[in-house]
Structure 1
Amino acid sequence: MRGHTDEPQTPTPGSAARTVGGITAIAVLALLAWRYPFAVGAAAVLAVVLFMHEFGHYVTARAVGMKVTDFFLGFGPRLWSFRRGETTYGLRALPLGAYVRVIGMSSSDAVEPGDEHRAYRVKSYPRRLLVVCAGSLMHLVMALVAYVVLHAALGAPALEENRWQVAEVMSQRDGVTLPAGTAGIEVGDRIVGVNGVVTEDWNAFVSQVQARPGESVLLEIERDGARLATAATLAADPETGRGLLGVRAAQAVTYETAGLPTATARAFADLGQAMVDSVRGIWSLFVNFGDVIDRIVSPPGDPSANDDLGTRPLGVFGIVDLASDTSWGWSERALMFAMVNVFLGVFNMVPVPPFDGGHVAIATYERWRERGGRDRYFSDPRALAPVVAVVVTALALLAIGLLYLDIANPIDL
């Protein structure tokens, strides 16, 4: 369906096809949301993140007097649009982000004579920098807000020394049925006693369980600050004869909140550290590119694909998969939201086109050529076309490779 105009419009086969396509896309999304609510929710949040990136460009471009002709949510075939003033707003079939079109982004772009004064290329150096950096700034703002909410409301996760909690509940192992799956034990529980014996220490717990194969035991569990009890009949390891319950452990996590002033200070500290970590991660990606490729081409189920998370990049599918893990709480999701935003903001400033950092580099080079009161200099975009082609191709191949890696060898945190 087309947007409203002053003149009545007659439906066309193209508009009907877009309407059908839009209805189909909505139906598919609704079906996926019903079947995989967390995954679709995580994907929707990621789409909003990319939308807000472009919204930053849109707002700042309008604010400094540039002409914005298009602002669309999604990519691919147009489903719906309307024109308000000089800008066409709309929705496209694939909700994987957004894009904004500003006139005169390069010296070769055709611009109407009456609009030349509103083209990106004729604006001052500070205004051009503001517009091209606005997307990354939006990522940092979103990350900062998430960190504040994390510290002030949700609680920042912190590992506890010498305390453990259940990280996985198993129903079977090597053909042996394990009682943990039917005993009501949940991920995040702390089993603090077995038959009255205190098991705050993991080794003490293991000793108590292994010494009682086939016995019915009373487990004391700590969950969300409350104590409860459950009974379980322990299985026996067919090889060693030792008792088995069926849980894996991880270091215990507590969630700490603070007042708004302290939470804000901690949020800024976290933001700074995340920016440093992102720069290091990007540098590691290039320095250890051979290791990255080895992981991408690893066969399904290869344990070496995830043996070093420092050189194991995560793609969009992997991010959505982790964020949709039902064992994660809102604190973990808020932390990932913040970290992903920081990384996107920093990565987008790599000084190579077509990244926004490439536009910063071009604008800075043009400014340098104008030093000493020289005439305005416009770089030739044709000289950078091969660089853009190489970068886009590399990113496409990397995205495909990471999609395979995330599916064939998913990270299990």
Structure 2
Amino acid sequence: MTALLTILGVLVFAIGMVISVSLHEAGHMIPAKKFGMKVTQFFFGFGRTIWSFKRGETEYGIKAIPFGGFVRIIGMLPPGKDQDPSTVRAASTGPFQSLVDNARAAEYETIDPADNGRLFYQKPWWQKLIVMASGPLVNVVIAFLLFGGLFMLYGASELQTTVKTVSKCVIPANEATPTRECDETKDKPSPARAAGILPGDRIVSFNGVQITEWEQLTPLIRANTDKPATIVVERDGKVLPPMKTNTILNQVVEKAGSEKVVNVGFLGVSPETKIVRQDLGYTVTQMGVITEATFHALLRFPEKLVGVAKAIVGGERDQNGPMSVVGAGRVAGEVASDQSITGEARFAFLISLLASVNLFLALFNFVPLLPLDGGHMVGAIWEGIKRGFAKLTGRPDPGHVDVGKLLPVAYVMASIFVVMGVLLVVADVVNPIRLNG
């Protein structure tokens, strides 16, 4: 049964990714066709063609390597200065496929004279911008719909004012590894334990401040440093006399997902959580929070890859580090087979995972470097600025911006992406991230 659930979880995640990638590429193709651009191919995957069919001038199909996809739009690069303008190479929106297709040294594909005016580079800058931005924007919409449906129909975990656990003693954050346990002969007892707080107690007030939600309590405790604290709790429906203790300075992680350690007041309690349905405003707020966290994760991506490389040769794998689609699929299978949680919770996690991957794909593709969509978007915007400035100043039209001049950058970046992808896939096979340790 466990194996079947694992396979089912991986299958659900894989189907979700196929749909997400296909919709991303459709986001490029649909506006391209609307603007009269010539689109000759729409494929999921790369490499050898497994199956395809042709409708109109566009071939649709599946290729052998199921990582990503591409849309082939004719004329994404203008011809070189010494090339016949009647011929132009077809380029694709897929990051790695476009590297090969856009190489100026490659053979150019002859186009029909009737295609003049339908080439990507010949179109207005704003049309090119829309075509390239629509792909990642589709991923943003998918992420929003998935997160929104999850939060509003299932709910999100909310911290309660009821205590779930009471720490036995004080362990600094830099020592709080899974193997570090409380040593009551050496470690100080936690202030909460010393005060007599028990799991199941509801925090009523802290230093005279009425507590209605846990988010109120955390900053109060942290700001109290090592000063006296008076705490009122409700136990078994009865409000107990005030408990007095001293919070102590301790090293804790600044916030969830952060690696920064700060010295703040410490009490030694953690809250119970409850799944509560949310509204649209919560979805928007959480999307902002997740986007910010994803942005910071992208900035630290190269640094994190060093740890991934070490994990391949036997080092410890960072459980909060990056993973490939293969790793995400393994996590999906692991959660799907975890019968210690409800079926609803497992399904909710899969939806959350798919939403998070879509948001990451969107932000990654917005990076303003070729061969990503963001590189082409920057070229279109720069063309609009140059042409607009020339028109305002009465200067001659400067013409199209040739993003082909950035092909050396594209080669370097694509090589880096390939190395990063291989590292992550290998690490996810030999030393995968496991939710349950």
State the TM-score bracket (shorter-chain normalisation).
Answer: 0.5 to 0.7
Which residue pairs with 2:151 in the alignment? Answer: 151
The CA distance in 2 between the partners of 1:129 and 1:382, in whole Å, is: 16
The answer to whether 1:320 aligns with 2:326 is no
Moved over 6 A (4+): 32-35
Q: 1:148 to 1:382 in 2, by over 3 A?
A: closer
Q: Which runs of 5+ in 1 are unaligned?
A: 1-31, 166-197, 202-249
Which residue pairs with 1:38 in the alignment? Answer: 9
Which residue pairs with 1:271 in the alignment? Answer: 287
- Superposed displacement of residue 300, structure 1: 5.4
Q: 1:406 to 1:91 in 2, by over 3 A?
A: closer
Q: Is contact 1:74-1:98 (8 Å) kept? A: yes
1:278-304 CA distances to partner (integer Å, 9 max, x unpaired)? 22221222xxx345313322355533x
The CA distance in 1 between the partners of 2:275 and 2:432, in whole Å, is: 27
Q: Is contact 2:23-2:138 (8 Å) kept? A: yes
The CA distance in 2 between the partners of 1:382 and 1:149, in whole Å, is: 42
Which residue pairs with 2:318 in the alignment? Answer: 306
The CA distance in 1 between the partners of 2:47 and 2:273, in whole Å, is: 43
Q: 1:360 to 1:382 in 2, by over 3 A?
A: closer
The CA distance in 2 between the partners of 1:122 and 1:150, in whole Å, is: 43
The CA distance in 1 between the partners of 2:421 and 2:59, in whole Å, is: 30
The CA distance in 2 between the partners of 1:99 and 1:333, in whole Å, is: 25
Letter in 2 for 1:86: E
- Superposed displacement of residue 115, structure 1: 1.2
Residue among 345, 364, 384 paired with 2:381: 364
- Superposed displacement of residue 265, structure 1: 2.1
The CA distance in 1 between the partners of 2:5 and 2:64, in whole Å, is: 20
Aligned residues: 291
Q: Is contact 2:45-2:63 (8 Å) kept? A: yes
Q: Secondary structure at the match of 1:117?
A: coil
How does the TM-score come out when normalised to structure 1? 0.64
Which residue pairs with 2:277 in the alignment? Answer: 257
Letter in 2 for 1:268: V
Q: 1:160 to 1:323 in 2, by over 3 A?
A: farther
Which residue pairs with 1:98 in the alignment? Answer: 69
Q: 1:119 to 1:361 in 2, by over 3 A?
A: same
Q: 1:46 to 1:252 in 2, by over 3 A?
A: farther
The answer to whether 1:297 aligns with 2:310 is yes
The CA distance in 2 between the partners of 1:411 and 1:257, in whole Å, is: 30
Q: Which runs of 5+ in 2 are unaligned?
A: 80-87, 90-110, 166-197, 202-269, 339-344
Residue among 346, 364, 367 paired with 1:329: 346
- Superposed displacement of residue 163, structure 1: 5.2
Which stretch of structure 1 is more off in the superposition, 153-162 or 333-342? 153-162
The answer to whether 1:49 aligns with 2:20 is yes
Q: 1:122 to 1:79 in 2, by over 3 A?
A: same
The answer to whether 1:107 aligns with 2:107 is no
Letter in 1 for 2:31: T
Q: What is the RMSD of the two structures over their aligned residues, measured on CA atoms?
A: 2.7
Q: How does 1:107-256 map to 2 (within 5 A)?
A: 107-108=78-79, 109-110=88-89, 111-160=111-160, 164=164, 200=200, 252-256=272-276
The CA distance in 2 between the partners of 1:363 and 1:408, in whole Å, is: 42
The CA distance in 2 between the partners of 1:95 and 1:295, in whole Å, is: 23
How does the TM-score come out when normalised to structure 2? 0.61
